[in-house]
Amino acid sequence: MRKRTIYSAKIRETEVTDKAVFRQRRSFIKQAAALGLTGSIAGGVSQAQAGTPLQGPIIKSPYSIDEEQTLKETATTYNNFYELGLNKGDPAKNQNWLKTEPWTVQVDGECSKPGTFNLEDILKPHAIEERIYRHRCVEAWSMVVPWNGFALGDLLKRFEPNGNAKYVAFTTLYDPDRLEGQRSRVLEWPYVEGLRIDEAMHPLAMIATGMYGEEIPAQNGAPMRLIVPWKYGFKGIKSIVKITFTEEQPPTSWNLSAPHEYGFFSNVNPQVNHPRWSQARERKLTGEAAGGLSALFTAKVDTLMFNGYADEVGSLYSDMDLAKYF
């Protein structure tokens, strides 16, 4: 996304972990698990590779798609989370920079029940579902990820938004002492995002607190992040500490940084190209690679309107010129 990393079919070797390394790591984790060691190998196995299983039963969601899932090892080591570093492998390496305990979420703006809530109180009422979604980055790569979480709308309704709540804004933790990426000027900090209220209330929009049946690791946005599967991945703000109901359209980080490249809506649309590359096709990061580093990516496949969720969400935009309101 940053100007100097223009998307290219050539993938930097350091950005993708070699299949052999995956294999080695997997067998190491299996052995460690068999020995009951996974929680205690200091520095050996990261949080992501030995995640904590989610508590309680996980409900299967009717919104899940039936497609080959991206390997957990790929989805947790190929990340965009600039607070934890700019290269794809940095967030997993620097996951300790994100301190998730204690965690509070401030809710304010146009609603009857604002307040500052402990994470536990935010999450407690919500049963955890598994939702297998397509995940399409604006950089033209994609994954299929089994997220664990619940409908965003179910959370928002608890704060009783009023008639002036036309939008909802989200803010990521600001902690430049620890989150070293926030000392760089690549974006204005903290990272902010937003949705129109009808988008936020759509049942496909979700808060993820886990993935692959385990707690969500830091690099993917612990302890809670947004997932909006019909939009480019950057709308999925990570590590949320604030939710604000607003009457005016809120500022969003990538739009502030490059307004002609990243619109507020940012719905996946193969017909509207990024000014610097085509959005017609994408490279999927699937499971087992046939061999080598860049083989982790499939050949290009066609990108689908609204990332394949047009039947569900198309009506939200029926009166909009999608080329103008990108």
Question: According to the binding rule CB under 6 A, does residue 252 interact with ligand MTE?
Answer: no
- Using alpha carbons, list the distances in angstroms from residue 42 to 39, 45, 215, 252: 8, 7, 19, 38
Name the residue nearer to ligand MTE (CB basis): 110 or 282: 282
Question: According to the binding rule CB under 6 A, does residue 172 interact with ligand MTE?
Answer: yes
Question: According to the binding rule CB under 6 A, does residue 220 interact with ligand MTE?
Answer: yes
**Residue numbers 267-306 binding ligand MTE by CB under 6 A:** none
Question: According to the binding rule CB under 6 A, does residue 97 interact with ligand MTE?
Answer: no
Compute the least distance from the CB of residue 318 to ligand MTE, in Å.
27
Name the residue nearer to ligand MTE (CB basis): 148 or 220: 220
Compute the least distance from the CB of residue 194 to ligand MTE, in Å.
13
CA 116 to chain centre: 23
Name the residue nearer to ligand MTE (CB basis): 80 or 303: 80
Compute the least distance from the CB of residue 170 to ligand MTE, in Å.
9
26 residue type, one letter: R
Question: According to the binding rule CB under 6 A, does residue 224 interact with ligand MTE?
Answer: no
CA-based torsion, 301, 303, 307, 309: positive or negative: negative
Question: According to the binding rule CB under 6 A, does residue 83 interact with ligand MTE?
Answer: yes
E strand or H helix at 311: helix 310-313
Report the b/e string of 236-251 with b at 16+ CB within 10 A: bbbbbbbbbbbeeebe
Question: According to the binding rule CB under 6 A, does residue 191 interact with ligand MTE?
Answer: yes
Q: Classify strands 214-215 and 129-136 as parallel, antiparallel or unpaired.
A: unpaired
SS3 string of 261-272? CCCCCCECCCCC
Residues that bind ligand MTE (CB under 6 A): 1, 79-83, 137, 172, 191, 220, 233-234, 236-239
